[in-house]
Amino acid sequence: IKVTLMMGENSVQPVKPNSPSLEEVLKRTNVAINLEAVPGNFEEKKSALIATNNIPDILQVELKDLQEFAKTGIFLPISDYMEYLPNFQKLIEDRPEINKLKVDGKLYGFPVLEKYRIAVAPQPMIRTDLLEKHNLQVPTTFDELYEVLKALKKEYPDSVPYTTRNGTLSLIGQLAYPMGSGGFPGFSQSPMYYEPDEDKYLYGPIHPDFKKVIAFLNKLYEEELLDPDYAVNTKDMAFEKLSSGRALFYYDNNTFAARQFNPALQQKDPNARIEIIPPLRNDEGQIRSYRYQRDWLTKMYAISSKVKDPVAIVKLYDWLYSEEGTMVSNFGVEGVHYDLVDGVPVVKQSLADQFKNQGDINSAIRSEIGLGLLSYAVHVDETWDALITDKYMLEMGEHIDRYTEMGHIQFMPYDPPFTQDETDQLKKLETKVNTLFQQEIDKFIMGARPMSEFDDFVQKLIDSGAPEIENIYNAAYERVRE
């Protein structure tokens, strides 16, 4: 069986159509995949093919493509073929977010799932060497964090105890959910978030707990504990402060400390280090925080409804989700491309030597063999990255996984899928309400407006349509809730 699969190409990992891994897929499944990778203008080409109902057998898509065009009958409803998908069904049993990919109750694409990747999360990161030097305890609550920042400011008057990158929304987004409220998760521009205690989506700023977040930031700002440039900070500005030792705490990606800040700090002081600390308890007694979304659910592979043998292609994808298919699509052929050492796939030394002068050896190997996320894999295993990653990165990843298992760190949820009418309504409402929010919120943090006026500000957000935004989100959520 021959099928054509079209996908976008990432310049980090060029795609080779006749890669060794695809030859192994043919050997094991009797399916020859003709991989067409489109560099640069993939979105444009994909849209043209969908619009003319001329798509290849398999096409890399996003949810918006399925929402807009599934009703035309162009894509195969794979949920009608679940009897041929035992491996896939097993993987999605504990993934309720998959329901958000459904269109009118049906699934039209195979999503890219993760088997293993090093955990990354926005978490509290602090100069633990300075805590030890001044006999300060690692903070366990937000009140304790305030006291620690205050003590560090006293010891280092010229310091910026707490800095952040990418402005106000990023600052609020990292703190709001852990402090018991929510809004701006990740790099979202929206104050909407999913509140697990109520099992619904909320427009964070109009609910009482959000006021505590702004009051906390206002206190930090007025006492010069928060970076005075927080609202205009770029990534480079924040990184310079943390790398030079001027800034002592941030609440953001743990990876930055290992890759940028600590190496720079330790050039001046070998003992200097910024380390991850456990998630903080809020004043309601909750310990909760985010890690980035599980899987790559916005990246899917849809099958054309015109294929001659849909069952064969469905079975191919079920095999790719299996243990055997996962190994082939992520590591290649055992004994040729990798060896199993204590159950761990380790790249063959000959391959490592072949690409040892490449800046990114793993991407070079994956490009040559045809492996992983940036190739055709749908069950991604990034074990090879762990084998060459900094030891501290692995320790932090284990820390995040441990607190995830404890329930103190949760995966950021995906938004529910919206109809075109809902999308149009949201655009109008969010433009109005979010603009009002962004125009005023820094005034409260910086003290230009007193917190006594915050309730009046909330009422204006309500009057401008914030509850209507909530209604649209929750109506969409109801359609996909189990």
Q: Kindly state the tokens that stand for 341.
A: 């050492």
| Mean pLDDT computed over 258-262 | 93
- pLDDT category at 388 given cuts 50, 70, 90 is confident
Identity at 116, one-letter amino acid code = Y
**pLDDT > 90 fraction of the chain, expressed in percent and rounded:** 92
**In the structure encoding, which two tokens stand for residue 456, read together?**
């009046």
Model confidence at 83: pLDDT above 70? yes
Strand residues in 100-235 grouped as ranges (E): 110-116, 122-127, 160-162, 192-195, 200-203
Task: Give the residue ranges of DSSP H helices in 134-233.
Answer: 142-155, 167-176, 208-222
Which long-range contacts link 384-393 to residues 24+ away (Cβ below 8 Å)? 384/331, 384/345, 384/347, 385/117, 385/118, 386/116, 386/118, 387/344, 387/346, 387/347, 388/361, 388/362, 389/118, 390/258, 390/259, 392/257, 392/258, 392/262, 393/118, 393/255, 393/258, 393/259
Give the helix/strand (H/E) hosting 377.
none
Q: How far is CA 162 from the centre of its chain?
A: 24
Residue 420, pLDDT above cutoff 90: no
pLDDT at residue 290 tops 80: yes
The answer to whether residue 321 scores a pLDDT higher than 80 is yes
Least Cα distance to 205 among 469, 427, 446, 424 occurs for: 469
Q: Which residue has the tokens 């243990």?
A: 323
Cα(394)–Cα(416) distance, integer angstroms: 32
Least reliable range by pLDDT among 160-169, 321-330, 382-391, 404-413: 382-391
What is the mean predicted confidence (pLDDT) over 260-288?
Answer: 97
β-bridge partners, 409: 289
Neighbours of 207 (CB within 10 A): 19
Question: 17 falls in which pLDDT band (50, 70, 90)?
Answer: confident
Residue 295 is classified by DSSP as S
The CA distance from 411 to 121, in Å, is 9
Q: How confident is the model at residue 419 (pLDDT cuts 50, 70, 90)?
A: confident
H/E stretch holding 59: strand 58-61
Asked if residue 234 lies in contact with residue 165, where contact means CB atoms within 8 angstroms, the answer is: yes
What is the mean pLDDT of the segment spanning 282-295? 96
Q: Which of 195, 176, 172, 178 has the alpha carbon at shortest distance from 141?
A: 178
The pLDDT value given to residue 189:
86
Query: H-type helices in 378-419, by residue range?
Result: 383-387, 391-405
Question: How does pLDDT run across 20-42, given as a tens digit for each residue?
Answer: 999 999 999 999 999 999 998 99
List of residues 6+ apart from 478 with CB closer than 8 A: none
Cα 66 to the chain's mean position, in Å? 21
Please say if the pLDDT value at position 151 is more than 90: yes
**Average of per-residue pLDDT values in the chain:** 96
Is residue 305 helix, strand or coil? coil
Q: φ, ψ for residue 43 (rounded to 5)?
A: -60, -40
> What pLDDT, on the 0 to 100 scale, is given for residue 482?
60
Return the higher-pLDDT residue of 145 and 352.
145
DSSP 420: H
First and final C-alpha spacing in the chain: 36
Instruction: Give the tens place of pLDDT for each residue, 204-213.
Output: 999 999 999 9
Q: Does residue 330 surpass a pLDDT of 80?
A: yes
Q: Is the dihedral of CA 159, 161, 163, 169 positive or negative?
A: negative
Is residue 75 within 8 Å of 302, Cβ to Cβ?
A: yes
State both tokens at 170: 């990023």
